[in-house]
Amino acid sequence: MSNKTRKLFAGTSLALSATVALSSAAIAEDSQAVIDQISQYNDANSFAQVNSVFQLRDVAPSDWAFDALRNLVEKYNCIVGYPDGTFRGNRPLSRYEFAAGLNACMQQIERLIIGGGSDVDAADITRLRALVQEFEAELATLGARVDDIEGRVEFLEDNQFSTTTKLNGEVIFNLAAALSPEDKVNGSGDDTDDEVVFSNRVRLNLDTSFTGKDRLRTRLQAANMPRFDRATGVDAARLGYDSGGDNNVTVSKLWYRTPLGNKATFHVGTVGLGLDDIFDVTNPKFASSGGGALTRFGRFNPIYRGPSGAGVGLNLDFTDRVSFSAAYLTGDANDPTDKNGLFNGSYSLGAQLDFKPADRFMLSATYVNRYQKTGDVNLSGSTGSALANDFTSDNAAASSNSFGVQASWKAAEKLNIAGWVGYTDASVEDPNASGDADVLNWAVNAAISDVGGDGNVLGLIFGQTPNLIDGEFNQVDVDSNTDTSYLAELQYRYKLSDNITITPGAYVIFNPNENDNNDAVWVGTLRTTFKF
């Protein structure tokens, strides 16, 4: 073999491992292509040298190229397979990929010649020399590209933000208005705040992994979203992604999760850790605040909402079909004053059993015990009526037991149906007062995918917002309004690109605050979500 030929192959060891991974897109000039190339080369490290053609599970003796592959494997040992044990011989081949494969065989033959191997046929050498001459330009380009990529990899390693942390973000632009009624439905007599508003929410997530399987999430958030409960007088009117603060930057989440063996995951957090971060809320199409339901009520069963922020949680997989989760959360963990702290303030203690009898169906049963101190009582997580939030007249401390059943069913390839029922039994915890209450809510939703284009979703949500169905405080009935409040939401998520989604929609609350004398509350909104 000539020195010229050997020089063509020098410095291309990385390409040798990637005999089937290198594509024409991998030699593009732009930065994204370079990153893709690096990923391909990294993945190629897991390609396995094939010692027998029968190790390739997608190559059969009846294939027309079987004898050729067997010859290359048995005589020259210069064929590699994908990590899943396939060769994928029916896919198109570029000249650069062929050059990389040729390069691998040439180096193997060169080693055999240097080692004095007697199995190298003179005819094979002649044919390979002809191939080298034919693909000389591609082999030279391949070597130059590899050298260029290695230089860029070195530059990225020297200038990267972090070896352990990834940055991802979400930005929401929101155009919205309360469309009716004329007066707020809380009995104040004030006019509804019905001006059109344009607002935003920005989230930056720093996700850090120390082992490759764990995650430390630090979220920075700034927002100036309006509260439509204040604009209309009913909590059920709240957006699912509202957040105030005049765009002041805060740490809105800080938690860590890590696997414990193969079957368990442990969670711990000090800021923004909620039950919905630990439990599967069984509402896959609408749970996300940036890309799910427009309403706070529509995201998931309100029994998941309550004292939260700091605490611990555990997920345990009994089988592939059955799992169990538990969590303890409090909003007062950082307060050392009396009746606060990690164990003596308001808290949520919950458990959930998930059952997946089929790939398309999931069912979960949830129990949450809560204590909410005086001034903190909010039995429905600000998703229902005023009475459902606090049935007492002075926000007296209360304990509660909440029970929920959630289900999600992929009824067809492009149709998902989900829903829940939630019930809360609450009691006043005050030596100078007494009382109890029962709060009920339920909802069903449907999401139809690819309506009007790939990735688009048409969504409908309907349900009974948390209503006080029975209540007494200091021996006086407090459920004088016997009407039931309902919420309906219609939305259409239009996927403008992989990173931008526009969601026009509207929702209405019938009989707001459990009173059919109140006019229905309508809210229209246009949410644009950017992800990066």
Domains and CATH numbers, the chain: 3-159 (no CATH), 165-531 (2.40.160.10)
Assign 399 a pLDDT band (cuts: 50, 70, 90): very high
Between residues 399 and 107, which one has the greater pLDDT? 399
In whole angstroms, give the CA distance from residue 322 to residue 315. 11
> pTM for the whole thing?
0.74
Q: Which of 142-156, 171-185, 516-530 is least confident?
A: 142-156
The pLDDT of 95-109, averaged and rounded, is: 72
Q: What angle do CA 231, 232, 233 make, to 5 degrees?
A: 105
Taking 80 as the threshold, does the pLDDT of residue 80 lie above it?
no
How many beta carbons lie within 10 A of that of residue 338, not counting itself?
A: 8
Which run of H or of E encompasses 176? strand 165-180
Instruction: Please check the confidence at residue 469 and state whether its pLDDT lies above 70.
Output: yes
CB count in 10 Å sphere of residue 502:
15
Mean pLDDT throughout 455-467? 97
Cis peptide before 181 (omega within 30 of 0): yes
Q: What is the pLDDT of residue 5?
A: 37
Among 12-16, 104-108, 257-261, 456-460, the least confident range:
12-16
pLDDT for position 477: 86
The DSSP element (H or E) to which 458 belongs, if any, is: strand 457-473
The torsion angle over the Cα atoms of residues 112, 114, 118 and 123, rounded to 10 degrees, is: 80
CA distances (Å), origin 140, targets 94, 130, 132, 256, 402: 15, 16, 10, 48, 69
Query: Is residue 28 over pLDDT 70?
Result: no
Packed helices 136-159 and 95-114: angle between N→C axes, nearest 10 degrees: 100
**Residue 116: pLDDT band with limits 50, 70, 90:** low
Average pLDDT rounded to a whole number, residues 147-172: 82
Identify the pLDDT of residue 151: 79
pLDDT value at residue 205: 97
Share of the chain above pLDDT 70, in %: 85
Query: What six digits make up the tokens of 260?
Result: 């414990």
pLDDT of residue 30 exceeding 50: no
Residues of the chain above pLDDT 90, percent: 62
Instruction: Write out pLDDT tens, residues 35-53.
Output: 454 444 344 444 456 677 7
pLDDT of residue 58: 83
| pLDDT score, position 323 | 98
Per-residue pLDDT, 356: 96
pLDDT tops 50 at residue 105? yes
Q: What number is the average pLDDT over the span 351-377?
A: 96
Query: Does 448 score more than 80 pLDDT?
Result: yes
What local confidence, expressed as pLDDT, does residue 379 receive? 94
Tell me: pLDDT of 83 over 80: no
* 274-298 burial: b if 16+ Cβ within 10 Å, else e: bbbbbbbbbbebbbebbbbbbbbbb
Confidence of residue 480 (pLDDT cuts 50, 70, 90): low
Is the predicted pLDDT of residue 12 greater than 50, yes or no? no
CA gap 504, 493 in Å, rounded: 7
The pLDDT score that the predictor gives to residue 152 is 79
On the 0-12 / 13-18 / 19+ scale of CB atoms within 10 A, 454 is exposed
Per-residue model confidence as pLDDT tens digits over 289-335: 999 999 999 999 999 999 999 999 999 999 999 999 999 999 999 99
Supply 225's token pair. Answer: 């979203």
Provide the CB-side half-sphere exposure for 513 (13 A, CA): 17
CA dihedral angle for residue 135, residue 141, residue 142, residue 146, rounded to 10 degrees? 170
**Tokens 């896919």 — which residue?**
91
52-64 pLDDT per residue, tens: 777 787 888 888 7
End-to-end CA gap in the chain: 51
Q: Of 85-89, 131-135, 352-356, which one has max mean pLDDT?
A: 352-356
Give the pLDDT confidence of 203-262 residue by residue, as tens digits.
Answer: 999 999 999 999 999 999 999 999 999 999 999 999 999 998 899 999 999 999 999 999
In this prediction, residues 191-196 reach a mean pLDDT of 96
